Amino acid sequence: MLLKDPARAKSDLVVDREAHAIVLTRMFAASREQVFAAWTRPEHVKCWWDPTGRPLAECEIDLRPGGAFRFVNQQTGATHQFVGLYREIAPPDYLVFEVMGATGRVVLDEIGGKTRLTVRIECGSATHLEQYLKMGIDAGTAKTLDNLVAYIGATQN
Amino acid sequence: MEYRTDRLSRAFSALADPTRRTILARLAVSEATVSELMAPFELSQPTISKHLKVLEDAGLIERGRDAQRRPRKLVAVALKDVADWVEPFRSQWEGRLDNLDRHLAAMSKKEKQHVTKGPSARQKRPSR
């Protein structure tokens, strides 16, 4: 969604105000195992987490129930770090974590040889949901993917 | 302010349904009559009308001037309110998932290289 430019947006975003939840879905031409690894291994996460395409400055993952994770963007630094705890880890089906008082659920479904990724972020209240959505503003809107393209180019050569 | 919040809530409820989002996407291209909307969606007239009423109550669509055809059209301002509210979040995740898409493509390519080059080539690569 949100219909701003339907041709360009590849992800579907639904805001369920009654459940205080945000649900994102997107298809990937990769196996569930690959997508799960991309979400849970630091050497992968650090390559794609920052929307600007820069590699993360820090990426720590303690992949076990109760284990912590910490993602720090180069640009925003530790003031806007993404810190949370893993709750459930079930490769390659799903991953549950808690971050900033919200529960994140990553669910992977195989559909016709591809993987459908569903990211569901559940907040405690409508106010919490608004706060969560507003945090996106801090991350900056400029999307420069040049760095990531350069990174992928470098690893393939 | 209260009015705006109420309207936003109605807009979000209306947008929670995939059929209604598809109808809006169609109306984003041009206005359309009920029968024009029925054909591509394979929905009955009462079903379409029900969806259109929800969208109309949420202020997302309105009726065009032609009294005979009664075409529906998008209310761009209402959609912009919704988009402004959620756009920073959406754009952040769109960027992130675009990155993930590219990264997965690179991962698949690497795995294929491993397979074609065989175990001797694999040993020469730095271990993780």
Q: Return d(Cα A107, Cα A99) in angstroms, integer.
A: 16
Rounded mean pLDDT of chain B?
Answer: 79
pTM of the model: 0.66
CATH number at residue A103: 3.30.530.20
Q: Across the interface, do A37 and B107 touch by the CB < 8 Å criterion?
A: yes
pLDDT at B76 over 90: no
Of B9, B93, B128, the CB nearest to A11: B93
Tell me the backbone φ, ψ of residue B127, rounded to 5 degrees: -80, 155
Q: What is the dihedral angle through the alpha carbons of A132, A40, A108, B11, rounded to the nearest 10 degrees? A: 10
Average pLDDT over residues B13-32: 82
Confidence of residue A58 (pLDDT cuts 50, 70, 90): very high
Whether A156 is covered by a domain: the verdict is: no
pLDDT at A86 over 80: yes
Q: Return d(Cα A68, Cα A80) in angstroms, integer.
A: 16
Distances (CA, A) of B2 to A24, B9, B72, B83: 28, 11, 27, 18
pLDDT of residue B71: 92
Q: Across the interface, do A47 and B96 touch by the CB < 8 Å criterion?
A: no
Evaluate the CA torsion angle B49, B52, B58, B59 in order and state its sign: negative
**What is the residue range of A17's domain?**
12-137
Burial class of residue B11 in the structure, from the number of CB atoms within 10 Å of its CB (0-12 exposed, 13-18 middle, 19+ buried) = buried
Question: Which residues in chain A are contacts of B104 at CB distance < 8 A?
Answer: 28-30, 34-35, 38
Contacts of A68 (CB under 8 A, 6+ apart): A60, A62, A83, A84, A85, A86
pLDDT of residue B126: 53
User: Are the CB atoms for A26 and B51 separated by under 8 Å?
Assistant: no
Average pLDDT over residues A123-131: 79
What does DSSP say about strands A102-111 and A12-16: parallel, antiparallel, or unpaired?
unpaired
CATH number at residue B56: 1.10.10.10
Whether A142 is covered by a domain: the verdict is: no
Q: Across the interface, do B88 and A139 touch by the CB < 8 Å criterion?
A: yes
Q: Return d(Cα A88, Cα A103) in angstroms, integer.
A: 11
**What is the residue range of B118's domain?**
2-124
Q: Å from A57 to nearest chain B CA?
A: 16
DSSP code at position A65 = T
Provide the domain count of chain A. 1
**What are the counts of helices (DSSP H) followed by strands (DSSP E) for chain A?**
4, 8
Whether A129 is covered by a domain: the verdict is: yes
Average pLDDT over residues A16-28: 85
Provide the domain count of chain B. 1
Of B79, B82, B107, the CB nearest to A34: B107
Burial class of residue A34 in the structure, from the number of CB atoms within 10 Å of its CB (0-12 exposed, 13-18 middle, 19+ buried) = buried
C-beta neighbour count of A150 within 10 angstroms: 11
User: Are the CB atoms for A67 and A78 separated by under 8 Å?
Assistant: no
Whether A117 is covered by a domain: the verdict is: yes
pLDDT at B122 over 60: no
Angle between helices B45-57 and B34-41 (to 10 degrees): 120
